[in-house]
């Protein structure tokens, strides 16, 4: 029987019913869940990227993944609003911009491409209790510090190196040619040093057929890499292993051409740069035959085709392949957040965090099985492909079942490029 005169205005609930709802809400809150009668309809995603500074090219490429996300996700039944912020390629700025995004109402942060800047954002998200979904950043420590709010749909430096070196062995087997010595050139920033640590730790146990004769660090903000390339050339190494991004990869190859250093190949075990559009535009024929072993999109998946179509519509003068890696991982990170929001029914942090922990996303772009997260917030199931630049286009050459062309190793000398 209804309590007379006790209906709450505008809600259609008696005070007894409202009291019961309050108790239920309190119980749910005790378990970290939000009241279901205050659900948000749109997820506000704060996208944190280095759109200016020395990492601007990569950050702007990632931003394109965020730009196409709202429309495409709406077709998939997800409602998202993008709030964008520029880190200026600086960790301190990344920290303050993450704070501002959260203060401006962001329910989740996506970013931040660079490991150092991502680490700064992770500290803010952990303090504020707001989820961070990493798009690109490989430093192992990001998911090794016990953070409750960090989720990474990207390989760790250890995974990158392990998968990349395994594919290098496959490259030798497929071409019947093996390098005997190698030199390693890498940036001295958080990302480069994390990869160096992984190589130093893993290489002795990987049974690689070559000897690593020297590691050479460089400043990615340097004006040129003449000294570093001269040191690498002097080692006489067969193979150049690199950890780069677009700007320093361009400087590196330019200097190699200038000094006529022609190793059997340039191979990166997972770093960006040598498949970015700017690398092709600046270097032309000299961009060809560089090899990167990294996670890559599956061209046969329906979602990949839809992303490519959305990219072409939004950016008709650009080709998808030159932006694909950064676009795909950024879009997928936003998709991960949107999927969690839909399942949680709320953008309340505890509900979002619980939903993210239960992620099992099969409708995705990148090669490999469904996106899931372990107890550290890491997706442990990411696999890599061997991508070689051919005709100034990133082309899958291994594994054989996914290959678009046969791998070339050793590669033609600079003067023999078409």
Q: State how many domains the chain has.
A: 2
Same-domain status, 186 and 262 = yes
Same-domain status, 219 and 266 = yes
- What pLDDT, on the 0 to 100 scale, is given for residue 209? 95
- Provide the whole-model pTM: 0.79
363 part of a folded domain: no
The residue among 338, 357, 376 that closes a domain is: 357
Same-domain status, 165 and 102 = no
* Owning domain of residue 244: 158-294+385-416
377 part of a folded domain: no
Same-domain status, 220 and 253 = yes
Same-domain status, 257 and 396 = yes
Name the nearest CA neighbour of 88 among 69, 114, 109.
114
Report pLDDT digits (tens) over 165-211.
999 999 999 999 999 999 999 999 888 898 899 899 999 999 999 99
Domain containing 63 — which CATH number? 3.40.50.2300
In angstroms, rounded to a whole number, what is the distance separating the alpha carbons of residues 131 and 136? Answer: 15
340 part of a folded domain: yes
Q: How many other C-beta atoms can be found within 10 angstroms of the C-beta atom of residue 120?
A: 22
- What pLDDT, on the 0 to 100 scale, is given for residue 14? 36
Same-domain status, 92 and 209 = no
- What pLDDT, on the 0 to 100 scale, is given for residue 368? 85
User: Averaged in consecutive runs of 10 residues, what is the pLDDT profile of the chain (418 residues)?
Assistant: 36 36 38 42 96 93 97 96 97 98 97 95 98 95 96 93 93 97 94 89 93 96 96 98 94 98 95 89 96 89 95 96 93 98 96 98 92 97 93 92 92 92
Same-domain status, 147 and 162 = no
Report pLDDT digits (tens) over 305-353.
999 999 999 999 999 988 999 999 999 999 999 999 999 999 999 999 9
For every residue of 258-301, DSSP letters joined together read HTT---SEEEESS-SSTTSHHHHHHHGGGGTT-EEEE--B-TTS
118 part of a folded domain: yes
233 part of a folded domain: yes
- What pLDDT, on the 0 to 100 scale, is given for residue 314? 97
Q: How many other C-beta atoms can be found within 10 angstroms of the C-beta atom of residue 356?
A: 24
401 part of a folded domain: yes
């Amino acid at each position: 029987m209804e309590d007379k005169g006790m209906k709450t205005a505008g809600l259609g609930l008696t005070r007894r019913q409202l009291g019961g709802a309050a108790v239920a809400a309190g119980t749910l809150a005790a378990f970290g869940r939000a009241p279901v009668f205050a659900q948000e309809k749109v997820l506000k995603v704060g996208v944190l990227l280095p759109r200016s500074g020395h990492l601007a090219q990569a950050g702007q490429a990632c931003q394109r993944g965020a730009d196409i996300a709202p429309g495409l996700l709406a077709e998939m039944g997800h409602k998202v609003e993008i709030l964008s912020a520029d880190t200026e390629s600086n960790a301190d700025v990344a920290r303050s911009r993450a704070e501002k995004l959260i203060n401006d109402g962001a329910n989740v942060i996506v970013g931040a491409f660079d490991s150092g800047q991502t680490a700064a954002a992770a500290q803010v998200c952990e303090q504020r209790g707001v989820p961070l979904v990493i798009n690109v950043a490989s430093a192992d420590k990001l998911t090794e510090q016990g953070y409750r709010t960090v989720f990474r749909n990207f390989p760790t430096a250890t995974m990158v190196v392990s998968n990349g070196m395994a594919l290098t062995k496959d490259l030798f087997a497929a071409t019947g040619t093996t390098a005997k010595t190698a030199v390693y050139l890498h940036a001295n920033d958080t990302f480069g040093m994390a990869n160096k640590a992984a190589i130093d730790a893993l290489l002795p146990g990987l049974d690689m057929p070559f000897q690593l004769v020297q590691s050479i660090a460089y400043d990615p903000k340097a004006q040129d890499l003449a000294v570093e390339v001269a040191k690498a050339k002097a080692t006489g190494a067969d193979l150049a292993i690199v950890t780069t991004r677009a700007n320093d990869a361009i400087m590196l190859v330019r200097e190699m051409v200038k000094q006529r250093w022609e190793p059997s190949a340039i191979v990166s075990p997972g770093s960006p740069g040598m498949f970015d559009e700017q690398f092709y535009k600046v270097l032309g024929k000299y961009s060809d035959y560089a090899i990167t072993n990294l996670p890559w999109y599956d061209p046969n998946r329906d979602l990949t085709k839809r992303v490519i179509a959305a990219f072409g519509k939004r950016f008709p003068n650009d080709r998808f392949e030159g932006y694909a890696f950064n676009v795909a991982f950024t879009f997928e990170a936003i998709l991960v957040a949107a999927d969690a929001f839909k399942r949680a029914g709320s953008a309340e942090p505890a509900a979002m965090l619980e939903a993210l922990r239960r992620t099992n996303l099969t409708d995705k772009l990148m090669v490999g099985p469904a996106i899931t997260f372990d107890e550290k917030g890491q997706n442990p199931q990411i696999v890599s492909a061997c991508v070689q630049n051919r005709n100034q286009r990133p082309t899958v050459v291994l594994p054989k079942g996914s290959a678009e062309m046969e791998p070339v190793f050793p590669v033609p000398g600079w003067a023999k490029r078409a």
